[in-house]
Chain A
Amino acid sequence: AQSVAQPEDQVNVAEGNPLTVKCTYSVSGNPYLFWYVQYPNRGLQFLLKYITGDNLVKGSYGFEAEFNKSQTSFHLKKPSALVSDSALYFCAVRDKGAARQLTFGSGTQLTVLP
């Protein structure tokens, strides 16, 4: 079975400060990892993914994430937060050797304060 944990329901950060949204995962084999963002009354928007290769993945809007196999983590980061980054963020995983549907975390609401 595969699972994802986002330990923080809410993250608040001041504009201009670095932000981190945490994600840990559990799979039997090798993971494919994803971050999506959801704005109010909208669908999920793809940010970035880790499939293979470099552990540091860069994505849209200045976001990046680091795959850490030993800690089974895939935390989302951005060096300087913008008010417009305020949204709901979802981490997702699937096992490379398993079915293609994604298992999502419970989501983290990010609020960037001006």
Chain B
Amino acid sequence: GAGVSQSPSNKVTEKGKDVELRCDPISGHTALYWYRQSLGQGLEFLIYFQGNSAPDKSGLPSDRFSAERTGGSVSTLTIQRTQQEDSAVYLCASGGAGETQYFGPGTRLLVL
């Protein structure tokens, strides 16, 4: 079946601009996660959605970062007023009843 998809695959933006990154989880998965992968920080957790519960936002690095999940499916991660240190690969994962998280291909963000 279809896996996790993310768009765009690459995004180049200028410092100060807002960006939106999209994640389509595996159909039927109730859990959705966002992680960030960067050279200096490795893989970091950002935010977690589980069904209709309030999201766990404990990993968001600043209030410029936000995410929503509409209809329990698609999720959008928004970064406002981007900074150069936001340059990274943003990975989305989804999970079903088991513990395994399945990752998408990521969005590579470059802030100039």
Contact = CB atoms under 8 A, between A and B. Distances in A.
Interface string A32-48: 10101000011111100
Contacts of A90: 43
A101 B6 CA distance: 19
Nearest to B101: A102
Interface residues of A, number: 22
Contacts of B108: 41
A22 interface: no
Contacts of A42: 105-106
A101 B103 contact: no
A34 B100 contact: yes
Interface of B: 4, 6, 31, 33, 35, 42-43, 45, 48, 50, 56, 58-59, 91, 93, 95, 99-106, 108
Interface of A: 32, 34, 36, 41-46, 49, 51, 90, 94, 99-107
